Amino acid sequence: MSNELVKNDYTSLPTTSISRTALQEISKANEFLGRIQLYTKGRAIDTGTIAPGHYGVPQSGSDGILDLGGEIDVLVFAARAKAMNVSDLENIVVSYNPEDEAFQDIKSGADAGDNGNLYGHSFLLYERSTSEFYELFCCNKSARIFSPTLLPFLSLNAAEAEAAGEEPHGPIPATLGVRYAKNKKGSWHASTVKECKAPFTQEPPFARVVEEVTKFLNPEVAEDDDRERTR
């Protein structure tokens, strides 16, 4: 951006009483969690909104997509099971418990080829370039094959580490990439993951991490709170 149309020099004046980071965090506190997805086919590709094989963030209330490119660096803060029936967009069914009948019904429908049913791992990611949290829902067959490879990048607490015979650690920085896949039925892009070698110099505030992880792992409570705020 340019300020060439402004005559006077205002650079000596303060602009905020708090840091820019703290200022940005104010508007993020009660936002709905956005999502990252890998685009390979469909309307967004056909219209040139995003390139095939790129990760993108759908923009709420529009057809726009924030194009993140074919490789992104992330911290994986949490994982959960998730199943969705989106056959009726006015009455979407969501389950986070694999033992629930609704979850099993959705899983059965998806395995039978019903595109209105989706299930798989759901991850809470912090993405480097946007400094923001997103959900990555690995809900198709290709993504479900990929998703277990992302689990080792999660934090390992003391109890989990002892059971696994390992040392406790925080989230391991990961780089998500893309590979081109092909078989007799067609071709598509699939996700890949490797350990990220570049340090995260701007991590989210710890309090924000706690808030986002808590909401992510207790989605029913978070959704009830959101409904209360919008009344």
pLDDT at 51 over 80: yes
Q: What is the 3-state secondary structure (H, E, C) of 48-113?
A: CCCCCCEEEEECCCCCCEEEEECCEEEEEEEEEEEEEECCCCCCCEEECCCCCHHHHHHHHHHHCC
pLDDT-based confidence at 3, cuts 50/70/90? low
pLDDT value at 12 more than 80? no
**Which tens digit of pLDDT belongs to each residue from 207-218?**
999 999 999 999
144-173 pLDDT, tens digit per residue, is: 999 999 999 999 999 999 998 999 999 999
Dist. CA 205–CA 87, nearest whole Å: 38
Residue 31 or 137, more confident: 137
Instruction: Please determine, for residue 175, whether its predicted confidence score (pLDDT) is greater than 60.
Output: yes
> Which residue is listed with tokens 């996700």?
191
Alpha-carbon distance of 20 to 23, in angstroms, equals: 5
Domain residues of the chain, as ranges? 32-79+122-230
What pLDDT score does 222 carry? 55
**What tokens appear for 94 in the block?**
């969501």
* pLDDT tens digits, 71-123: 999 999 999 999 999 999 899 999 999 999 999 999 999 999 988 999 999 99
- Tell me the residue length of the chain: 231
pLDDT of residue 229: 45
